[in-house]
Amino acid sequence: MNVHKPLVSLPPIRIHPILWLFAITAIVTGTFMELTIIFSIVVIHELGHYLAAKSYHWRIRKISLWVFGGVMETEEHGSRPIEQELWVTVAGPLQHIWIYGVIWLMTYLGWWSSSIVEMALQYNTSILLFNLLPIWPLDGGKVLQLLSSTLKPYRTAQSITIVCSVIICLLVSLTFMFFDTLPLSTVMLVVFILLENRLEWKQRNYLLFRFLLKRYSEKPTLSKTSPILVQSYDSMFQILKQFRRNRHHHIFIKDGKESMWVDEDTCLDAYFAFKQHQAKAKDLVRLAE
Ligand SMILES: [Zn+2]
């Protein structure tokens, strides 16, 4: 018997508690149409990310939906080329272009009332602009992290992204407060974004080691090589936090007047295979022999 695999198998979709809260508010206040429009736009946006990721055969763990956006969790953790991840990230915002087309078509055919058209236009624009803000974990924040990763080590790029995100988030909130009062929904979004950034900051080292473990186990082909310069007494962590995406590393170890180098594979083997967590840079030379 043939078992047919569906062409597109959807991953588990999780509704964030904040969205349930909005749904209840919408039912109570009778703004159900508004919620349906927002939810549809967010789902189409996430489908953009999902289909782009699937086209590259990414492993997707789940999609979380929250108001004004969502997050697609994958099993890739920085092991894919930056250009690929950039494309998956922009595939979400790109969906809003054809949504504008649908709204225009519905207006042209006269199938939607003017109030629905106006609402759809307003939400399509605001969800698009909101997601483009350079704030983690929004798409703009992901682009910021990917661009930082092209210039800086993985861990530094993450730190830069979080610091910029928090500053920009607070500046945008203050600007809103200056021109208008902050509605409760916006306050909830700001709190949500700040909590996400706090979590990301606390998990910095865990995320770095997850990225390195992926690199160690999958050994991606990296055509460009760049050096990491360390002193003989530098710790493993001081070396590992200089690892970059899209770059293969040669580690140059300076010991007095002498200088030696080892390949990054020796360093990753020392850490993950031989559990040399307390080793110093000079110990890598011995392990390479
Ligand atoms: Zn998105």
The pLDDT value recorded for residue 32 is 81
Question: Annotated catalytic, 46?
Answer: yes
- How many Å lie between the centroid of ligand 1 and the Cα of residue 89? 6
**Ligand 1 centre and the CA of 169: distance in Å?**
17
Distances from the Cα of 137 to the Cα of 56, 199, 231, 274, angstroms: 21, 11, 36, 35
Does residue 209 surpass a pLDDT of 80? yes
What integer is the mean pLDDT of 143-171?
Answer: 96
- Report the pLDDT value the prediction gives residue 233, as an integer from 0 to 100: 92
Q: By the 8 A CB rule, do 58 and 88 touch?
A: yes
pLDDT grade for 8, boundaries at 50, 70 and 90: low
CA torsion 124-127-129-134 (nearest 10°) is -160
Residue 70: the pLDDT is 81
pLDDT reading at 94 higher than 70: yes
For 177-196, give one letter per residue: b (16+ CB within 10 A) or e: eeeeeeeeebebbbebbbeb
Choice among 26-30, 94-98, 212-216 with the minimum mean pLDDT: 26-30
Mean local confidence (pLDDT), 110-134 = 91
pLDDT number for residue 153: 96
| Mean pLDDT value of segment 257-286 | 89
What spacing in Å lies between the alpha carbon of 45 and ligand 1's midpoint? 6
**84 CA → ligand 1 middle, Å:** 15
Percent of the residues in the chain that have a pLDDT greater than 70, as a whole number: 97
Task: Report the mean per-residue pLDDT for the chain.
Answer: 89
Q: What is the Cα gyration radius of the chain? A: 23
